[in-house]
Amino acid sequence: MNSPELVQLMKKRAEAVQACVSVVKGFDDIAAYTADLTKKQGGKTIAATGLDAAEYEILGLICESAGLTLLAPPFRNHARNIHTSLTVAGWGIADTGSLVIDSSSEDVRIATMLPETHIAILPAEKIKPDPEALAGELDRILKADTPAYMAFITGASRTADIERVLAIGVHGPRELHILIVEDHHA
Amino acid sequence: MIKTAQDIKSYKRQLKEALGDRFLRKALDNFNTAYRENRPHVYQGIDFEGIRDEIAAGKDAGLPHLKKMFEEFKVHAEAAGTKVHMAKDALQANEIIARIAREGGVERIIKAKSMTAEETFLNHHLEKTGFEVTETDLGEWIIQLRREGPSHMVMPAIHLSRYQVGDLFETVTREKQDSEDIDKLVKVARKSLRSVFLEADMGISGANFALADSGVLGLVTNEGNMRLVTTLPRIHVALVGYDKLIPNLQSALRILKVLPRNATGQAITSYVTWIKGTNPCLSAPSAHKEMHVVFLDNGRLSLAEDPVFSEALRCIRCGACANVCPIYSKVGGHKYGHVYIGAIGLILTLFYHGSENDRAIVQNCINCQACKSVCPVDIDLPHLIKKTYRAVMDQERQTPVKNVVLSKVMKNRKLFHFILRKAYLAQKPFSKNRPMIRHLPHFFEKKHGFRSLPVIARTPLRDQWKPLSPAVARPEYTIGFFVGCAIDFIYPEQGRALPALLGGHNVQVGFPMDQTCCGLPALMAAEEETAREVARQNIRALAPQKYDYILTLCASCASHLKHNYPKIFKQDPDPPIGLGEFTDKIIDFSSFLVNVLNVSPKAFKRTGKKVAYHSPCHLCRGLNVVDEPRQLIERAGHTYVPSKDEDVCCGFGGSYSVDFPEISSAILNKKLDNIEAADADLLVTDCPGCVIQLRGGMDKRDGRIEVKHLSEALADQLTTDDSQR
Ligand code: SF4
Ligand code: SF4
């Protein structure tokens, strides 16, 4: 499968589990998307991880102009108060529409778990067809003699514990947005 | 608290109560149907059998090396800061965890869902020791608040309605709840538990995988609570059964292909998390989490060495064996297991929670094979359930009188057949010369009166046979007819149809008179020794070298002869000569007529009568025969009309329907409702046992649909012109 096909499959499978997927051009789009969505949902705060200094700056400016607060780490201090998070996924798995996010940093974990809405940036070239295609790289990380916390995230948090009726957004984020970007850090 | 019946009498009382729970019945019946209907979609494009066999082989290869894998895991986990503990039993595991909490100055504990913690009754222990414990998985939280055990391994609160949950939440929050709206109820849990997450000192989880070559735990979840439990508090303890040890990530990814699909119909769950060592954690004094993994033995290590039962350790806790079980769907998990529920629960209870908790429930399996057909690790669940029943009796040195009598009678063919012949006379006062007994003596009627019973035939088939099946000069096929008790002594007409149908096909049929019961009833009563004895008699009587095929019209006999005979002699140092040839030659009626003789539609009148089909458990799952009977219905000039749940058990199960009449009747009634809804004129099946059940039930409800064995239904349609065949 070539890259456009993987992007399409990733989109299809992630949407099948209620994720919102968009293909975007660059970080300006991402920052605008994040601020707009937060405003639309009536949120006030954004927690961002994994951005480089320039990106962080751009996001800060946009937040400021939109009247939103870009939260400073550590996010544990804002645990009750994170509306949106913006994170960067290490890989995508097209077959299941999953994100793979190295979450050994506590801030990444909190950012992917506690907010109402989680927005993840996924570089297009990091989309793999299936988990097996990622096994080698994952294995290297997991086998190192250091702590690790790797997460496959697929859609928003969900339950069917009451009468087997599907309900979205139990303890984790209620919405997952995936922004597939063609030339991230290009 | 869990109160599992410890004797059959109180168990039956509990079952009756459960059968009366209308919400439960409806919810679980719908679930059973929905699960089975959804399954093909979920597995589209996936080679279920292939992956299943690979996982089973992988698990089996690992079981002899659990201790080695544990050591390997320990080295890698410790290198990343994890403390690894071993607990020989439940109490020790609980004590280790309580000690970790005490030493860590813990007050509040949050938990993610863990069947292993349910197994050790960990919450109870920790609460007793003075800790505050909160379950955070929605279903687990609900049952914790209700002080109940889980009724399903994946959906612990599946037995409750939204209204029951709403009422419960009203008590907890002291606020009015809108029970109609499940989304809102879910939000109650989100809101109520947020602070609990943030204030806890210690988090406890289970794990789905423990990867030996890296010391990593793999957790497969949906709600997100497990991620919070393993992130926010400063201490994380994982309680993990030794059976969760697997060699590496590859083995885990293979299991991950089927676990979510089988459990919840998802290609993957929302979260699959791989955790190793002391990850950063700002609430810990060192800014790194304290991480513990407690491995629980509790009988697993010796189970792993058991030649028969080690297979049970392959279980990946998907819960599917309950989802498809017709009995689970009638009585629910609280009455179909102890802590572990469903088919695997009937087995594991003996090993993890003692014979006293298994002795009643283990008898409640109708042997329909539904669980086995969906198990993603290929555990022969129905077979192991009977083995477990035997082990319970052996451990307790108690064999029911009915078992003693059954064994004595069955081992002696002449005595057995003598009794059957006498039964014809004994039943006369009740049958009043009609083909069915509609009313049983008063003391039986209440429970067992849900179906009319067939009468024993005046002349068994064996006494009628000779003139029916003349010698064929140059036969194309020579077959041995294994008739089975039900056709021989109750429904000879089903057997009489056979020579009629074979006429013109050049088939020589032999009917060895020394054949006896196939032995399935003995195996169902866990009397394997008796089952072996009659198997020897049958193999000797049938002398397989004489025949091209050994044909039977009874699906249960066929699958027992073919698949159980090798199993019951597996550990026998002296298996009967010809066993392999015998089992190879077993063929069922439909497969013989369609695949061997290829009977032509021209041999039958075309009436177009609407015919529904009941697919016997032991044919469709036991022998994988699915299309042939339906083809025969069409070839015989009928119109086959599909009905709902065609391959779900009819509730007969031989002595099962006598031991558990209320459940048998509940299963039967659903079946008959489905058939009636299909608007057929005739219902056919190819197992005389199913005919007993279905015809008896139809008669009792004064239904208009006739019930016949496929052989009779075909013979009725034969044209008189032999040259057509
Ligand atoms: S064989 Fe049938 S009745 Fe027995 S446990 Fe399995 S599904 Fe249930
Ligand atoms: S026995 Fe098989 S079907 Fe039942 S829970 Fe275990 S893995 Fe699933």
| Mean local confidence (pLDDT), B306-312 | 96
CA–CA min distance A139, chain B (Å)? 7
DSSP assigned state of B47: -
Helix, strand, or coil (residue B587): strand
Task: Give the pLDDT band of residue A186 (cuts 50, 70, 90).
Answer: very low
What is the atom index within ligand 1 of the atom nearest the CA of B367? 1
Looking at the partner chain, which of A104, A143, A152 has a beta carbon nearest the beta carbon of B279? A104
Nearest to A152 among B228, B230, B268 (CB): B268
**Predicted pLDDT of residue A76:** 96
pLDDT in tens, B58-99: 999 999 999 999 999 999 999 999 999 999 999 999 999 999
SS3 B220: strand
Residue B422's pLDDT band, with cuts at 50, 70 and 90, is confident
- Tell me which long-range contacts B414-421 makes (C-beta under 8 A, separation of at least 24): B416/B516, B416/B517, B417/B460, B417/B489, B417/B516, B420/B456, B420/B460, B420/B485, B420/B489, B421/B456, B421/B460, B421/B489
Check pLDDT > 80 for residue B514.
yes
The residue whose CA has the least distance to atom 4 of ligand 2 is B321
Rounded (10°) CA dihedral B411, B413, B419, B420 = 120
All residues at 6 or more sequence positions from B142 whose CB lies less than 8 Å from its CB, including other chains: A161, A162, B156, B157, B160, B165, B168
Mean residue pLDDT of chain B comes to 94
Residue A29 parent element (H or E):
helix A27-40
**Residue B480, strand partner residues:** B510, B550
- pLDDT mean over B16-20: 95
- Domain B601-724, second-level architecture: 3-Layer(aba) Sandwich (3.40)
Going B41 to B47 to B51 to B52, the CA torsion angle's sign is: positive
Q: Do A148 and B80 touch (CB under 8 A)?
A: yes
Q: How far apart are the first and last CA of chain A?
A: 22
Q: Alpha-carbon distance B684 to B388, whole Å?
A: 34
Structurally, what CATH architecture does the domain formed by B437-596 represent? 3-Layer(aba) Sandwich (3.40)
Q: Does residue B84 contact residue B267 with C-beta atoms inside 8 Å? A: no
| ipTM value greater than 0.85 | yes
CA distance B5 to B106: 37
Q: Which residues, 6 or more positions from B426, have their beta carbon under 8 angstroms from its beta carbon?
A: none
Which of chain A's residues have a Cβ under 8 Å away from the Cβ of B211?
A: 142
pLDDT number for residue B441: 60
Backbone torsions φ then ψ of B624, nearest 5 degrees = 60, 30
Residue A172 · residue A157 · CB < 8 Å? yes
Q: Which of A16-25, B416-425, B516-525, B659-668 has the lowest mean pLDDT?
A: B416-425
Percent of chain B clearing pLDDT 70 (strictly above) = 98
Of B101-110, B409-418, B548-557, B713-722, the poorest mean pLDDT is in B713-722
Contact B683, B706 (CB under 8 A): yes
CB A14 within 8 A of CB A97: yes
The Cα–Cα gap between B304 and B306 comes to 6
Cβ of B637 less than 6 Å from ligand 2:
no
Nearest atom in ligand 1 to B372's CA: 6
In chain A, positions 4-63, which contact chain B (CB-CB < 8 Å)? 13, 17
Nearest-CA distance A13 → chain B (Å): 10
A109 to B227: CB separation less than 8 angstroms, yes or no? yes
Q: What is the pLDDT of residue B425?
A: 80
Residue A19: beta bridge partners?
A: none
The string of DSSP codes covering B525-578 is TT-HHHHHHHHHHHHHHH-GGG-SEEEES-HHHHHIIIIIHHHHTTT-SSPPTT
Question: How far apart are the two ends of chain B, measured CA to CA in Å?
Answer: 66
In tens, the pLDDT along A25-62 reads 999 999 999 999 999 999 999 999 999 999 999 999 99
Q: Of B458, B447, B82, nearest to B277 (Cα)?
A: B82
pLDDT tens sequence across A65-92: 999 999 999 999 999 999 999 999 999 9
Amino acid at the residue A140: R
**Bridge-based pairing state of the strands B436-437 and B453-454:** antiparallel
Q: Of B687 and B433, which is predicted with more confidence?
A: B687
Q: What is the DSSP annotation of B448-471? A: HTTS-EEPPPSS-HHHHHHHHS--
What digits encode the pLDDT tens for the residues B609-645?
A: 999 999 999 999 999 999 999 999 999 999 999 999 9
Tell me what pLDDT residue B186 has. 95
CA distances (Å), origin A33, targets A23, A62, B590: 11, 10, 64
Interface check for A177 against chain B (CB to CB < 8 A): the answer is: no
**pTM, whole model, 2 decimals?**
0.94
Between the CA of B82 and the centroid of ligand 2 the distance, in Å, is: 30
Which of ligand 1's atoms lies nearest the C-alpha of B382?
1
Conformation bin of residue B112: beta by default, left when phi > 0, alpha when psi is -120 to 50: beta
Per-residue CA distances from B497 to B481, B484, B487, B716 (Å): 13, 15, 11, 9
The first and second tokens of residue B503, run together, are: 């006429």
Helices (H) and strands (E) in chain A, counts: 5, 12
Beta bridge partners of A87: A120
Q: Do B197 and A145 touch (CB under 8 A)?
A: no
Q: Please give the average per-residue pLDDT across B525-553, as a whole number.
A: 96
A125-162 pLDDT, tens per residue? 999 999 999 999 999 999 999 999 999 999 999 999 99
Q: Give the C-alpha separation, B4 to B10, whole Å.
A: 9
Compute the distance from residue B678 Cα to the ligand 2 centre, in Å: 33
Q: How is residue B486 annotated by DSSP?
A: I
Closest C-alpha residue for ligand 2 atom 8: B318
Number of neighbouring beta carbons within 10 Å of residue B113: 27
How distant is the Cα of B248 from the closest Cα of chain A, in angstroms? Answer: 9
**DSSP symbol at B362:** G
Domain ranges in chain B with CATH number 3.40.50.10420: 62-160+201-301
What's the Cα-to-Cα distance from B553 to each of A36, B417, B470, rounded to whole Å?
71, 19, 20
Closest among B535, B544, B547, B488 to B513, alpha carbons compared: B488
Which residue spans of chain B are classified as CATH 3.40.50.1860? 601-724
CATH number at B62-160+201-301? 3.40.50.10420
The confidence band for B250, taking pLDDT boundaries of 50, 70 and 90, is: very high
3-class DSSP state for residue A136?
A: helix
Indicate whether B722 pLDDT > 70: no
Is B659 in contact with B363 (CB distance < 8 Å)?
Answer: yes
Q: Is B274 helix (H, G, I), strand (E, B) or coil?
A: strand
Residue pLDDT, tens place only, B94-106: 999 999 999 999 9
Q: Which domains does chain A have, with CATH numbers?
A: 3-181 (3.40.50.10420)
Q: Burial code of A18-29, b = ≥16 C-beta within 10 A, e = fewer?
A: bbbbebbeebee
Nearest Cα residue to atom 2 of ligand 2: B375
Calculate mean pLDDT across residues B328-348: 97
Q: Is the peptide bond before A74 cis (omega within 30 degrees of 0)?
A: yes
| Number of residues in chain A | 186
For residues B689 and B558, what is the distance between their CA atoms, to the nearest angstrom? 12
A185: confidence class by pLDDT, cuts 50, 70, 90: low
Under DSSP, the state recorded for A180 is E
